[in-house]
Amino acid sequence: MMRKPSDILVVVIMSVICLMAAAAKSMERFEAPEGFSFLMEGTPETPPTSLGSIKTYQHSSKDSSFIYWIMISDVMCSSDSPPSVVTGAIDGACTGMVIGTKANEIQRKSITLDSKFPGREVETSFTQGSATGYYRARIYLVKHRMFQLFVGSTEERTLHNTEANQFLESLRVSPEKWK
């Protein structure tokens, strides 16, 4: 059975609730072979993924306070597409993420990566059973790739601390390396 990315995200985010014993590590830059890099605590796990014909890459890590997760998908449109197509793709990804994780959207705002690639930042809260969680996500469309970075925690106030900001602001892309 193939799981939807939103199902995987809920499982990944909720697992942070059980992570009180792990020691925090310093952030290190991870150079992905797919032509991008980011900062993450610990060594990212890279599970195999498949979403039909869409090529995806996932990297995740967790410490005592957060879960970090990045997913990259090759998509049908491009950041060079007409503005309405770009906006629709990014907002559609945000809405799908919120609905798919059964979360309550707290805030959504427009952002850019490297002053040229459009994106959104979304903050949410969600409840699963008696547990409450929060995540902050940044979604960017860079050429034909959708980058989704998530930081999740059981405490809303931590979503804006130094470590969370460092991770969400760390994405570097090299589209010239993409095939």
**Is the pLDDT score of 24 beyond 60?**
no
Q: Where are the domains of the chain?
A: 5-177
* Percent of the chain residues past pLDDT 90, beyond the cut: 37
Check residue 22 and give its pLDDT: 37
pLDDT at 49: 62
Q: Report residue 76 CA to chain centroid gap.
A: 19
**pLDDT at residue number 2:** 47
Question: Is the model more confident about 120 or about 37?
Answer: 120
Integer angstrom CA distances of residue 37 from 31, 48, 66, 123, 168: 4, 18, 19, 23, 12
Beta strand segments in the chain, E: 27-32, 36-41, 56-62, 67-74, 104-113, 117-128, 131-142, 145-153, 172-173
Report pLDDT digits (tens) over 65-75: 678 888 888 88
Architecture of domain 5-177: 3-Layer(aba) Sandwich (3.40)
- Please tell me the predicted confidence (pLDDT) of residue 117: 94
Pick 88 or 21 by higher pLDDT. 88
- Mean pLDDT confidence for 8-18: 44
- Residue 54: what pLDDT? 54
Task: Flag whether pLDDT at 16 surpasses 60.
Answer: no
Quote the mean pLDDT of the chain: 79
Is 18's pLDDT higher than 70? no
